[in-house]
């Protein structure tokens, strides 16, 4: 098989959550442990940092990886989902895993893993862990796929655990209350391993504290330590952070939600005694996250005149920040290309959207995407003006034709909407 055929095999022969949702979710770690045993427990060959949470996992994971790279460590980074190419999920020092490695892995190991009937994510996690070992990484930053307690990344014992925040997402698996969701995320807390909680609410803090106390893990709340004292956006779109211990730090990534993420990151590094980070490395990493790690889709500016921004925020927690930021934009007309997938709370998100914008409702290529006509019907309930388009490429083409040079175009609502846009632009 060539690379394209190999990736298609992985997507078609193993259940993929991004494609089919609930049916791809496998509760329990049996397959993961079997795969780990087969490959000789590769994750024991390097230090790890484990990142969970409803929102901000990707930004925090990439930022930490960028800081570690700037310090001179050989750094693995495992994240999901990918936007354009499967290889984005597995990187070493920002470089994607090679096509050949993936081809060889599947060809050589399929006879072992096929009888297990693993999920797509179980196979991919095993691939990442063995690749990092063979690449002799010093540290791997591992992003949780879904939840925490039963996520297949949860076989690691990291140097530090991070839980960014809790909001409603994947409630069919994680529970329908914030406390239940927090309980699943808290499953990554390990005995003796410091855990940093980025944000908490009254329902979630007791859950984290109880779990940490039960197993003897030091717990720290970033909001209380408040490493980021204040922030402001300069004329170049760079955020200046005034910090307690690091002076003024510039953050490359836009989006007002990045202040919370940066506070969480700095707090985590303050308590990660096993890993040495100098001030200059921290500043270099945060100022160059996208270049160092290949991160895309976080309040990403794609062009000027008209300004085009895309963002992968896809749930209520993410849109609490995105809606505020969109409403604060100075432009002649705000135009929004928008779509969501079927396991998200679209009604609550719609309530947050600015009624002054013109909308271009569309559907991502994911099988879980809500049909564009249904999105438009829901939008009518909230007085959102717009038309429906069958795919992201068509919607984007129309909005570009209609937009004035002083307008702002935003594309989002789902990671898959952004993925389709970036794929279209890459052609």
How confident is the model at residue 19, as a pLDDT?
46
- The residue written with tokens 């003006």 in the block is 385
Q: Which residues contact 111 (CB under 8 A, 6 or more apart)?
A: none
pLDDT at 229 over 50: yes
pLDDT at 328 over 90: no
In angstroms, the Cα distances linking 47 to 68, 74, 278, 357 are 12, 11, 18, 47
How confident is the model at residue 411, as a pLDDT?
97
Q: How many C-beta atoms lie closer than 10 Å to residue 343's C-beta?
A: 18
pLDDT at 70 over 70: yes
How confident is the model at residue 150, as a pLDDT?
87
DSSP secondary structure letter of residue 191: T
Kindly report, residue by residue over 52-64, the tens digit of the pLDDT: 998 889 999 999 9
Percent with pLDDT over 70 in the chain: 94
Kindly report, residue by residue over 185-206, the tens digit of the pLDDT: 999 999 999 999 999 989 999 9
How confident is the model at residue 174, as a pLDDT?
59
> Going from the N-terminus, what domains does the chain have, and what CATH number goes with each?
3-293 (3.40.1190.10), 300-426 (3.90.190.20)
* Ranges 21-30, 245-254, 404-413: which has the least confidence: 21-30
* Ranges 113-117, 215-219, 264-268: which has the least confidence: 113-117
Give dist(CA 152, CA 27) in Å, integer. Answer: 9
How confident is the model at residue 234, as a pLDDT?
77
The enclosing H or E element of 391 equals none
Length of the chain equals 427
Of 237 and 353, the structure prediction assigns the larger pLDDT to 353
How confident is the model at residue 264, as a pLDDT?
97
Of 172 and 35, the structure prediction assigns the larger pLDDT to 35
How confident is the model at residue 168, as a pLDDT?
59
Banded model confidence at residue 314, pLDDT cuts 50, 70, 90: confident
Residue 353: which of 330, 318, 326 has the closest Cα? 326
How confident is the model at residue 224, as a pLDDT?
95
Banded model confidence at residue 27, pLDDT cuts 50, 70, 90: low
How confident is the model at residue 94, as a pLDDT?
97
CB half-sphere exposure, 52, CA atoms < 13 A = 31
Kindly report, residue by residue over 129-182, the tens digit of the pLDDT: 999 999 999 999 999 987 788 899 999 999 999 999 987 554 455 556 888 889
Q: How many C-beta atoms lie closer than 10 Å to residue 51's C-beta?
A: 33
Kindly report, residue by residue over 98-120, the tens digit of the pLDDT: 999 999 999 999 999 989 888 88
Mean pLDDT of 270-298: 93
């Amino acid at each position: 098989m060539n690379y394209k055929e190999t990736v298609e095999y992985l997507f078609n022969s193993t259940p993929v959550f991004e494609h089919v949702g609930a049916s791809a979710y496998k509760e329990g770690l049996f397959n993961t442990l079997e795969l780990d045993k087969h490959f000789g427990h590769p994750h024991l060959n390097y230090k790890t940092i484990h990142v969970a949470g409803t929102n901000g996992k990707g930004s925090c994971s990439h930022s930490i990886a960028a800081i570690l790279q700037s310090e001179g460590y050989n750094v693995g980074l495992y994240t999901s989902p990918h936007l354009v190419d499967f290889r984005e999920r597995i990187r070493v020092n920002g470089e994607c895993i090679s096509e050949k490695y993936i081809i060889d892995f599947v060809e050589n190991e399929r006879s072992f893993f096929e009888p297990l009937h693993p999920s797509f994510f179980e196979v991919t996690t095993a691939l990442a862990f063995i690749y990092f070992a063979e690449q002799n990484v010093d540290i791997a930053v591992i992003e949780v796929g879904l939840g925490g307690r039963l996520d297949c990344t949860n076989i690691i014992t990291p140097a530090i655990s991070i839980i960014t925040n809790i909001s409603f997402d994947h409630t069919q698996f994680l529970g329908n209350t914030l406390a239940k969701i927090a309980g699943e995320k808290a499953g990554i807390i390990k005995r003796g391993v410091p855990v940093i909680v980025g944000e908490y609410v009254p329902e979630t803090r007791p859950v984290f504290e109880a779990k940490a106390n039960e197993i003897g893990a030091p717990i720290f709340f970033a909001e209380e330590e408040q490493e980021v004292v204040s922030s402001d956006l300069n004329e170049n779109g760079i955020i200046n952070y005034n910090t307690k211990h690091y002076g003024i730090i510039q953050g490359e990534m836009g989006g007002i939600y990045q202040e919370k993420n940066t506070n969480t990151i700095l707090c985590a590094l303050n308590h990660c005694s096993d890993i040495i980070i100098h001030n200059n490395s921290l500043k270099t990493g945060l100022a160059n996250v996208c270049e160092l790690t290949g991160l895309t889709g976080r309040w990403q500016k794609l062009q000027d005149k008209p300004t085009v921004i895309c963002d992968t925020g896809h749930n209520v927690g993410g849109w609490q920040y995105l809606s505020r930021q969109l409403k604060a934009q100075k432009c002649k007309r705000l135009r929004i290309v928008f779509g969501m997938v079927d396991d998200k709370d679209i009604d609550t998100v719609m309530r947050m959207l600015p009624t002054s914008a013109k909308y271009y409702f569309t559907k991502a290529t994911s099988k879980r995407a809500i049909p564009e006509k249904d999105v438009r019907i829901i939008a009518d309930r909230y007085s959102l003006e717009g038309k429906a388009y069958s795919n992201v490429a068509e919607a984007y083409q129309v909005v570009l034709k209609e937009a004035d040079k002083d307008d702002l175009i935003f594309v989002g609502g789902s990671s898959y909407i952004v993925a389709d846009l970036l794929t279209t632009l890459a052609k």
